[in-house]
Amino acid sequence: MTPPRCAHEPRDMQAASNPVDLAWALVADEQARFHAALADALEPQRPYLTGLEYETYQRGKKIRPLLLLLAASLFRADGARRAPLPVKAIMGAVSLEMLHVATLIHDDIIDAAPLRRGIASVVGARGIDMAILVGDLQFIQAIRVFARHVDTQADMALVRLVLDVGFSLCCGEIDERSVDRRESIGFLRNHYFKVADRKTAVLFGLACEIGAALSGATKREIRALSQYGRDLGIAFQIMDDVFDFLHPQASAGKAPQADIAARCLTLPIINAMEELGDAHELTRIMRGAVAAPEPAALDRAARAVERSQGLVDAYRAARRHALQAADCLQGLADRPERRALESIASYVVDRGFAQPLVEGEPA
């Protein structure tokens, strides 16, 4: 089955109805504090950064910091609804964004990617050695800016949690690249979800957990928000992999052939391999039977993924995780922040499309 691409016109990603923009409007005062604190956190690095790194921080919708600030705002006491969030919540949001940027820089190093979203990557512009150092600098500064605001044992536990997530991010990168591509489809699919959790979902979960914890949420509420973030992160990663084929400007801006050339086993590719069988050119390339595929072979393999059911099945998996994320919010206070989190779960799956990718899927 060919996924219906042309029927789904990309929506303006900056539209006023964008759920992420509307969610930021709920925490507009905190958004201003976040950007000011981020600028302050970058100031000590000024001698070591170029305009390119500052541009990297300016891009994107800052979903991870937004999740933290929404979670923190959701659990503010009724009498403190308009009171500013504690400084440590703002610095937690800054820390998360710096961790995220560090992972982007390191991803581009590992992928030898000269561009990110059509703009020179740090490794493309400054070389491997400087990119490694700049990426490491972001990791270290991310921990520093949060740890400086530790006041209590509970705060210290959150710092340890940030360190644990940093460990998980690195392990996820190693796991992704060390898998035996000759394993069964079932094994490869399970491995994909494990890596997606360790590389992407943990940071979403961390954002929600820190925000809830810093506002005095109960253990049950913290667990619910953390699980919301984990499911949201899985959905986000799957859709990034889908968008690599359907709508590259909504993902990292890679050509569909890039993951195939790198033998990166994303969910759409794994699904297509299962459908097309072991003898198909795509499967042979991904399993290493074709040592150095020609560009024409990579193009044929990418087209095979697009014509298969793999993209639609991946979309449906993302949709399931988005719905599970929204379900985690049931039982929490019915406040604007909760409704914003629910809207973000839908947005993560259908961003860039005027309607769901598959007709009849719940919006």
Q: What is the pLDDT of residues 273-288, one digit of tens each?
A: 999 999 999 999 999 9
Q: Which residues pair with 119 in a beta bridge?
A: 116
Phi then psi for residue 117, to 5 deg, are 55, 40
- The conformation of residue 77, written as its DSSP 8-state character, comes to -
pLDDT greater than 70 at residue 353: no
In contact, 21 and 14? CB cutoff 8 Å: yes
In contact, 275 and 309? CB cutoff 8 Å: yes
* SS3 at position 313: helix
Average pLDDT over residues 209-217: 94
pLDDT in tens, 38-58: 999 999 999 999 998 998 898
CA gap 216, 1 in Å, rounded: 49
Q: How confident is the model at residue 81 (pLDDT cuts 50, 70, 90)?
A: low
Q: What is the pLDDT of residue 142?
A: 95
Per-chain mean pLDDT for the chain: 88
CATH topology of domain 19-350: Farnesyl Diphosphate Synthase (1.10.600)
Torsion of CA 194, 259, 106, 312, to 10 degrees: -50
In contact, 252 and 244? CB cutoff 8 Å: yes
Q: Can you tell me which residue has the tokens 């959701």? A: 74
Q: What is the pLDDT of residue 213?
A: 95
pLDDT greater than 60 at residue 16: no
CA gap 222, 205 in Å, rounded: 10
Q: Which of 208-217, 225-234, 242-251, 313-322 has the lowest mean pLDDT?
A: 242-251
Question: What amino acid is encoded at 19 in this protein?
Answer: P
Q: Which residue ranges make up each domain of the chain?
A: 19-350
Give the helix/strand (H/E) hosting 8: none
Q: What is the pLDDT of residue 114?
A: 85
Q: What's the residue count for the chain?
A: 363
CA angle 199, 306, 253 (to 5 degrees): 50
